[in-house]
């Protein structure tokens, strides 16, 4: 038989989508031995006695069986936890990332588009592009507020199938103006589109859309247990009117929630006070960080309703800064490297979007971690 040394490269070239070939895989920074303040993880773990108790529960599960009706217990527990209104339904995803992908999959009709303010969560654009939907990114204002005029104009022009509003937003950490949100929701509804309120940061936020969701029949509310304290478990959920959720549930892979994920999430919900105390600590730490950061010359700090803080490193050349943020060079990159050399890993988002020039995103850590962050930051500016 003639050898086929080129079979692999032929397959790679000809059988893999061109757009996939030119993509970059989602990069996870190496964080071995570092203080990890880059991914909005809850830095707290379960107390030792609960770890042992959970271990026993997980060990006793029938891993030889496919997941069964136990996921319905989890759906009910999450609905109760969230205060889901009557007539609504809840579906589970392997992280809310999976739900975002499933929404794009189900909405893939010719000409369909997904619209979201930018800078925003990268998965909205990525899931749309992978599914062949147009992505329309509408820039926020320079202060990261919704640009009402631009949003309404883009909705009228593009008639998107889905509009994502992260409440609060990632990476800017702020909540947007409620009156503007309502206008956007009404405009999307008027042209037959859907709005997804993404409340990934709900445990740290002063507000939730859950109280208003029953007013609309075209609004979905998405949450995740990742920032709550279970990033490793991978559990997202989405609530909406029954008829809508029923359609999205059809494209969900069967058994997408493993018995381990399901049981760990149920266990966490049975111990809500533990997680609530962790969230309260992080909110307190956020306020402490905010005060300290605001006192540092050379930093611009934005309000946060999440477990992250967006800052801009102001260039030494204040005039260059005023005329064009970041025009004076890679000040944020230098601070990022100094923090890294000092053992603190944060996220350098300065190249993510022009509005984020010289911006860094800091995840709120434990009291000790934040002390380390502040000490190195002070020396780095
Ligand atoms: C982190 C994050 C998510 C994704 O969470 P997973 O459930 O871990 O997939 C969704 N939306 C926003 C805005 C996020 O920041």
- pLDDT tens across 87-117, in order? 999 999 999 999 999 999 999 999 999 999 9
- Among 117, 170, 172, name the best residue to mutate to test ligand 1's pocket (greatest count of ligand atoms within 8 A of Cβ): 170
Q: Which atom of ligand 1 is nearest to the CA of 99?
A: 9
pLDDT average, residue stretch 105-134: 97
Domains annotated on the chain, with CATH? 10-46+274-380 (3.90.1150.10), 64-271 (3.40.640.10)
State the pairing for strand pair 35-36/344-345. parallel
Ligand 1 centroid from CA 201, angstroms: 8
CA angle 30, 32, 37 (to 5 degrees): 75
pLDDT average, residue stretch 131-141: 97
Specify the pLDDT at position 158.
98
CB of 98 shorter than 6 A to ligand 1: no
CB of 236 shorter than 6 A to ligand 1: yes
CB of 120 shorter than 6 A to ligand 1: no
pLDDT surpassing 70 at residue 351:
yes
pLDDT average, residue stretch 72-98: 97
Specify the pLDDT at position 321.
47
- pLDDT tens across 216-275, in order? 999 999 999 999 999 999 999 999 999 999 999 999 999 999 999 999 999 999 999 999
Specify the pLDDT at position 324.
52
Contact between residue 244 and residue 209 where contact means Cβ atoms under 8 Å apart: no
Q: Which atom of ligand 1 is nearest to the CA of 226?
A: 8
Ligand 1 centroid from CA 172, angstroms: 14
Q: Which atom of ligand 1 is nearest to the CA of 225?
A: 7
- Among 104, 169, 224, 347, name the best residue to mutate to test ligand 1's pocket (greatest count of ligand atoms within 8 A of Cβ): 224
336 exposure class (CB count in 10 Å sphere: 0-12, 13-18, 19+): buried
pLDDT average, residue stretch 49-68: 97
Contact between residue 197 and residue 220 where contact means Cβ atoms under 8 Å apart: yes
CB of 202 shorter than 6 A to ligand 1: no
State the residue for tokens 């759906």.
Answer: 75
- pLDDT tens across 165-209, in order? 999 999 999 999 999 999 999 999 999 999 999 999 999 999 999
Ligand 1 centroid from CA 359, angstroms: 20
CB of 199 shorter than 6 A to ligand 1: no
Token code pair at residue 189: 């509804």
- Among 39, 94, 96, 170, name the best residue to mutate to test ligand 1's pocket (greatest count of ligand atoms within 8 A of Cβ): 96
Specify the pLDDT at position 55.
98
CB of 164 shorter than 6 A to ligand 1: no
* pLDDT level of residue 3 (50, 70, 90 thresholds): low
Q: Which residues have a Cβ under 8 Å from the Cβ of 199 and sit 6 or more positions away?
A: 166, 167, 205, 208, 209, 210, 221, 222, 223
* pLDDT level of residue 154 (50, 70, 90 thresholds): very high
CA angle 114, 205, 124 (to 5 degrees): 15
Element (H, E) at 379: helix 367-380
Specify the pLDDT at position 314.
93
CB of 226 shorter than 6 A to ligand 1: yes
Q: Which atom of ligand 1 is nearest to the CA of 40?
A: 1
CB of 97 shorter than 6 A to ligand 1: yes
Q: Which atom of ligand 1 is nearest to the CA of 97?
A: 9
Question: Residue 74: which of 200, 225, 276, 211 has the closest Cα?
Answer: 225
Ligand 1 centroid from CA 26, angstroms: 14
pTM score: 0.94
Question: What would the DSSP string read from start to end of 102-113?
Answer: HHHHHT--TT-E
């Amino acid at each position: 038989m003639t050898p086929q040394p080129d079979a692999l490269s032929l397959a790679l070239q000809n059988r893999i989508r061109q757009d996939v070939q030119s993509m970059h895989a989602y990069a996870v920074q190496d964080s071995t031995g570092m203080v990890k303040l880059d991914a909005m993880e809850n830095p707290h773990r379960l107390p030792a006695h609960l770890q042992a108790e959970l271990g026993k529960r997980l060990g006793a599960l029938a891993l030889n069986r496919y997941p069964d009706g136990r996921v319905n217990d989890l759906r009910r527990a999450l609905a109760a936890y969230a205060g889901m209104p009557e007539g609504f339904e809840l579906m589970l995803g392997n992280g809310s990332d999976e739900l975002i992908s499933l929404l794009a999959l189900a909405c893939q009709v010719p000409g369909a588009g997904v619209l979201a303010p930018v800078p925003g969560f990268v998965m909205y654009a990525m899931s749309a592009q992978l599914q062949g939907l147009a992505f329309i990114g509408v820039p926020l204002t320079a202060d990261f507020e919704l640009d009402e005029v631009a949003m309404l104009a883009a909705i009228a022009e593009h008639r998107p199938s889905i509009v994502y509003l992260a409440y609060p937003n990632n990476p800017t950490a702020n909540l947007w103006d409620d009156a503007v949100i309502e206008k956007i929701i009404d405009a999307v509804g008027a042209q037959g589109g859907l709005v997804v309120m993404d409340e990934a940061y709900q445990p740290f936020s002063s507000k939730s859309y859950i109280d208003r969701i029953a007013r609309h029949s075209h609004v979905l509310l998405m949450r995740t247990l990742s920032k709550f304290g279970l990033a490793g478990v991978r559990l997202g959920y989405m609530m909406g009117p029954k008829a809508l959720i029923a359609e999205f549930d059809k494209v969900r892979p069967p058994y997408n929630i493993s018995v381990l994920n399901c049981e760990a999430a149920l266990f966490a919900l049975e111990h809500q006070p533990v997680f609530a105390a962790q969230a309260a600590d992080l909110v307190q730490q956020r306020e402490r960080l905010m005060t300290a950061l605001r006192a540092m010359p050379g930093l611009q700090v934005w309000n946060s309703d999440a477990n992250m803080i967006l800052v801009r490193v102001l260039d030494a050349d204040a005039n260059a800064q005023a005329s064009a943020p970041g025009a004076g060079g890679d000040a944020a990159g230098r601070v990022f490297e100094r923090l890294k050399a000092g053992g603190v890993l944060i996220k350098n988002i300065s190249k993510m979007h022009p509005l984020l020039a010289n911006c860094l995103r800091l995840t709120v850590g434990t009291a000790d971690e934040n002390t380390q962050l502040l000490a190195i930051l002070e020396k780095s500016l």
